[in-house]
Amino acid sequence: MRSDAVSLLHFDFCLLPLPVQLTQLSIDTARSAVQERKTTALALAEAHYARIQKEDGQIGAFLTLCKERALEQADRIDRMAAEGKPLPPLGGVPIAIKDVISTRGVRTTAGSKILGNYVPPYDCTAVARMEAAGAVVLGKTNCDEFAMGSSNENSAFHPVRNPRDLNRVPGGSSGGSAAAVAADMAVVALGSDTGGSIRQPASFCGVVGFMPTYGRVSRYGLIAFASSLDHIGPLAKTVKDAAIVLRTIAGRDSMDSTSADVPVPDYVAELEKPVRGLKLGVAKEYFGDGLDDEVRHAVESAIDKFKSLGCEVLPVSLPHTPYAIPTYYLIATAEASSNLARYDGVRYGHRAPGVNSLSEMYRRSRDEGFGAEVKRRIMLGTYALSAGYYDAYYLKAQKVRSLVARDFEEAFRKVDAIVTPTSPTAAFRLGAKSNDPLAMYLADIYTVTADLAGIPGISVPCGETREKLPIGLQILGKHFDEATVLRLAQAYEQAV
């Protein structure tokens, strides 16, 4: 692999100076550099592969690289630029894809041994749309097994380490995607969010993470965890980059019956609208016991910044928030139990060798293929759905979910968006919560509510602790009003 400097010499016109290293470009600057022939898509891809080779041995963000696919796409973009054709919105931009998102011809494991050798025959819709827009897929990023986790320690292959402190977790389950962006190993990445799995890693790694409204982005090709909660969304270095990616992947898809037929605005153009006069809600339920003092101070300072930008800050109440964690872990595990029943060793995935009966093959294949956390959630979900317990657990959780959603509906009658901490703490140390599942589950206490309600949310960096660990500010919006959430995040990002 070439170093950044050698890549710049690949063509004579690449000698033109760039303001930063090739691995530190935004979407716009990367695309413009290729369009204006200051560099090439090939040079960008190889610079990022060199960065991965240098840094990822310690971080562990990637599980599979697809260099041949990346360089073929880069070559197509370079030929367009050489012919003077206008490049598509992501022309030449190196990206990473979370390993629960299907990629044709590229190993997709969901971080699990049971899919250790699975190679999908098709692309996820979001991936297809990114490549159609010119993006260069570098590879697949590590994650908690089947996206079940808050620390990226549940991967069947190896944990991911936080680029800001290698002794700490990057968050989960999209920890590999967040770490890849934070460590300049990709310009942007796709992740998935079921209970906070985009926003919490973004907070821990100091990047932007956006979860769109449920149904805004097609889930076709996303390996299912909890089908009524799963979202695909971007992790990026800037709010504008997140808006560009969302504009690319959003919209109705005939392959996903849950994708919404709702017009997609130009999110990038919406960023330029002023935020003065917008009403922001602050819920006391998100500022109670368990919130770290440094996180509280950083988020309160961010709220003051919004006031200085002309926003009106109002108190709101989300009274069913204390029930969100138990509600989430009943619904999510029940749906996981159903979705993961397909991994039986019959059609694809791991099959235990040397078995003498069908029932033994099922039992051994699943026992060998699934990790401890996945087994725990399958058992919890199966119990919640079992005869005699369905009404007491799963059905009651769905009723409480409706109450959580109603809380947000009531609040959004008064305000345009709600601001909260993304996580009650900054990144914790590797192993600190591995043996305490309940403590790990509580790391998602401020993020699961948005998944339950199906509303959009973003995490944007809002400061650091004394130990230089990033802190995230969460902004939640109304259904299909991603534009307002992004506009507020952009205004804050520019102000600080």
**pLDDT per position as a tens digit, 221-247:** 999 999 999 999 999 999 999 999 999
CA 416/CA 455 separation, integer angstroms: 13
Please pick, among 112, 173, 365, 423, the residue that the annotation labels catalytic.
173
Dmax (CA) for the chain in angstroms is 73
CA 324/CA 397 separation, integer angstroms: 9
* Range 303-326 burial, b when 16+ CB lie within 10 A, else e: bebbeebebeeeebebebbebbbe
Please pick, among 151, 192, 197, 218, the residue that the annotation labels catalytic.
197
25 contacts 33 by C-beta, under 8 angstroms: yes
Fill in the DSSP letter of residue 257: T
CA 9 to mean position of chain CA atoms: 35
Nearest to 186 by CA among 236, 120, 227, 261: 236
Angle of the 67-82 helix axis to the 27-35 helix axis, nearest 10? 60
192 catalytic residue (yes or no): no
Average pLDDT along the chain, 496 residues, taken 10 residues at a time: 35 44 96 97 98 98 98 98 98 98 98 97 98 98 98 98 98 98 98 98 98 98 98 98 98 98 97 97 95 98 98 98 96 97 94 94 97 97 93 96 98 98 98 91 94 98 98 98 98 97
**Neighbouring C-alpha atoms within 13 Å toward the C-beta of 24:** 5
- Cis previous bond, 173, omega within 30: yes
Which residues have C-beta within 8 Å of that of residue 25, sequence separation ≥ 6?
Answer: 18, 33, 44, 187
What residue type is assigned to position 206 of the chain? Answer: G
What pLDDT was estimated at residue 19?
46
At 16-47, the pLDDT tens digits run 445 459 999 999 999 999 999 999 999 999 99
Nearest to 168 by CA among 422, 427, 465: 427
173 contacts 152 by C-beta, under 8 angstroms: yes
173 catalytic residue (yes or no): yes
CA 89/CA 177 separation, integer angstroms: 21
Fill in the DSSP letter of residue 98: E
Fill in the DSSP letter of residue 391: I
Fill in the DSSP letter of residue 444: G
CA 56/CA 438 separation, integer angstroms: 30
pTM, two decimal places: 0.95
What pLDDT was estimated at residue 438?
86
CA 170/CA 62 separation, integer angstroms: 13
| DSSP one-letter string for 398-454 | HHHHHHHHHHHHHHTTT-SEEEEESSSSSPPBTTSSTT-HHHHHGGGTTTHHHHHHT
Fill in the DSSP letter of residue 104: T
Please pick, among 7, 26, 98, 174, the residue that the annotation labels catalytic.
98
Class of domain 4-270: alpha beta
What pLDDT was estimated at residue 20?
58
Question: What is the sign, positive or negative, of the torsion defined by CA atoms of 253, 258, 263, 266?
Answer: negative
203 catalytic residue (yes or no): no
As a dihedral over the C-alpha atoms of residue 259, residue 261, residue 265, residue 266, rounded to 10 degrees, the angle is: 60
Q: Tokens at residue 359, please?
A: 């029932």
